[in-house]
């Protein structure tokens, strides 16, 4: 199980040769993880140190961003083809 997909990601080039990512928004990384996992690739998460930001604001917490992510997730899971 991957706990945080919106962090640093490393992928083999062959993953993108095998899967086709259709999401264009905030669910993009979630789709990559899902398609790679169900295409037989091993997904691992390596713990890393997280330091909270000292200035500025995160954009992912906006209601519009959350709504867009939910819509993309629903669309993906209804039309997902492997």
- 27-52: per-residue pLDDT in tens? 888 899 999 999 999 988 888 777 77
Taking residues 5-15, report their average pLDDT.
82
Could you tell me the pLDDT band of residue 61, with boundaries at 50, 70 and 90? confident
Please tell me whether the overall predicted TM-score, pTM, comes out greater than 0.85 for this model: no
Taking residues 56-61, report their average pLDDT.
71
pLDDT (0 to 100) of residue 59: 66
What gap in Å lies between CA 70 and CA 62, rounded to an integer?
Answer: 13
CB atoms within 10 A of CB 27: 22
């Amino acid at each position: 199980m991957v706990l945080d997909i919106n962090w640093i990601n490393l992928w083999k080039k062959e993953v993108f040769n095998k899967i086709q990512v259709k999401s264009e928004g905030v669910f993009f990384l979630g789709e990559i993880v899902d398609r790679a996992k169900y295409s037989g690739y091993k997904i691992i998460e390596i713990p890393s140190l997280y330091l909270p930001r000292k200035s500025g604001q995160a954009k992912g917490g906006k209601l519009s961003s959350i709504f867009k992510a939910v819509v993309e997730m629903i669309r993906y899971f209804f039309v997902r083809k492997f």
